[in-house]
Copies of this chain bind each other. A is one copy, B any other.
Amino acid sequence: MTISADRVAPDAIGLDWRELDTPALLVDLDRLEANIDWMAGHAGAGGVVHRPHFKTHKSVAIARRQLGAGAIGITVAKLDEAEALVDGGIDASILVAFQLASPFKLERALRLAGRVPLILAVDSAAGVGLLADAATAAGRVAEVWIEIDSGLRRCGVLPGEAADLARVVTAQESLRLTGLFTHAGQSYAARDPRDVAAIAGTEASAVVAAAEAVRAIGIPIATVSAGSTPTAQFLDASSGITEIRPGTYVFYDALQVALGSAGADQCALSIATTVISRPAADRAVIDAGSKTFGLDRGAHSSDLLVGYGAVQEIDGTLARLSEEHGMLDIPAGSPLAIGDRVRIVPNHVCTVSNLARRTYGLRDGIVREVIEIDAAGGVH
């Protein structure tokens, strides 16, 4: 697949990335396309569909490319991400992989379900009751998946509890149960690919066991969905799952490289910064801090990462961040000067997208398109 320039800020197009004002998010379009194609091919070869997670990029234009490469639908972490997709013209099915518990959000979700195939998540009888009542009030039948806890200890029922909750869902006329899903986010705290593979095994067996228990009481389950970027690489239909939901793979980041999910040459997103101060021989200060990079050091694995991002091209470590400043430790003889540009791959790309409004898509270092971050961060 090839990305066309469908959203363009004309005055950036054609510039070298070093000519952009900073901080700026840069996307290597060749790598982005290769990453999207690789995951689509991996899913297809493994006999599963894929439903990529929107939270990583929050960009309708990138979601459209994922769908164009064969994704069956999109996963979102919050309702306003789903609304941004639908407002942006996406009509594929959307999984809101999050329990909605406020009447405002339930009402909005059911309104959105009138515009696009929407799948909502439940993990408790109380949540089923709230959703069923809201669906009844809206005059709709809501499609529902049950969340299974495969070891993250966040939301979700344990596999042994799935059949009981499935009975509660199917007792509601305003709900239609069609799938189970899980997310083994503990894979982000793995130390190496062997750990990740083991977690992927646990993830698949938990959600498949839950599906078998539900089917055993006569309730059909079409979709058995699992996966994060690290575990998705180890998942295929042989385990009994039918769908994977990776997110970070579109860009990868320093944490994914540390986990062995990607090589450094697959990282598609970096942050362009400018040196604003050279106050000491071994220190350069750049114009991006925690309000650009976030403070992620990885879950339980900060010793796998060096500083707050992977410095590109030059020798240096992003050793400290304050809110708008980044402090680079550099060799004492470094020629780095005020005004120089420095490019850095972030530790955790989902945080970075959330803190920005757009990315600049590059080929061979030249801006070819501007990609809006439609659902950029913002508690409303």
Verify B295–A155 contact, CB threshold 8 A: no
Residue of B whose beta carbon sits closest to that of A152 = B322
CB proximity of A369 to chain B, nearest CB, Å: 16
Q: Which residue of B lies closest to A125 (CB)?
A: B338
Interface pair B350/A378, CB less than 8 Å apart:
no
Partner pick for A101 among B154, B287, B291, B320, CB 8 A cutoff: B287
A379 contacts which of B100, B275, B292 (Cβ < 8 Å)?
A: B292
Do A98 and B324 have beta carbons less than 8 Å apart? yes
Q: What chain B residues lie within 8 Å of A377 (beta carbons)?
A: 291, 355, 377-378
Interface check A55, CB cutoff 8 A = yes
- Say whether B295 contacts A24, CB under 8 Å: no
Given A283-B153, A325-B154, A379-B292, A278 and B124 touching (CB < 8 A)?
yes
A339 and B98 contact, CB distance less than 8 A: no
Contacts of A25 in B (CB 8 A): 379
Complex formed: what's the CA distance from A339 to B125 in Å?
13
Asked whether A379 and B357 contact (CB < 8 A) given A102-B274, A154-B327, A276-B99, the answer is yes
Q: In the complex, are the beta carbons of A350 and B338 less than 8 A apart?
A: no
Bin chain A's interface residue count: 35 or more
Task: Out of B22, B124, B155, name the residue touching A102 (CB < 8 Å).
Answer: B22
Cα A350 to Cα B130 in complex, Å, equals 35
Q: Which residues of B contact A294 (CB under 8 A)?
A: 290, 294-295
Q: Is A358 an interface residue (CB 8 A)?
A: yes
Q: Is the CB of A279 within 8 A of B157?
A: yes
Q: Which of A1-37 contact B (CB under 8 A)?
A: 21-25
Residue of B nearest to A155 (CB): B277
Which residue of B is nearest A156, CB measured? B279
Query: Looking across the interface, which residue of chain B has its beta carbon closest to that of A378?
Result: B357
Q: Contacts A355-B379, A377-B291 given; indicate if A323 touches B22 (C-beta within 8 A).
A: no
Q: Which of A285, A350, A376 has the most CB of B within 10 A?
A: A285
A105 interfacial by beta-carbon distance below 8 Å: yes
A338 touching B126, Cβ below 8 Å: yes
Please determine whether A338 and B292 come into contact, CB atoms closer than 8 angstroms. no
Q: Complex Cα distance A55/B322, Å? A: 12
- Shortest Cβ distance from A374 into chain B, in angstroms? 13
Q: Which 6 A-B pairs have the closest CB atoms?
A: A356-B379, A21-B104, A99-B276, A155-B277, A295-B295, A101-B276
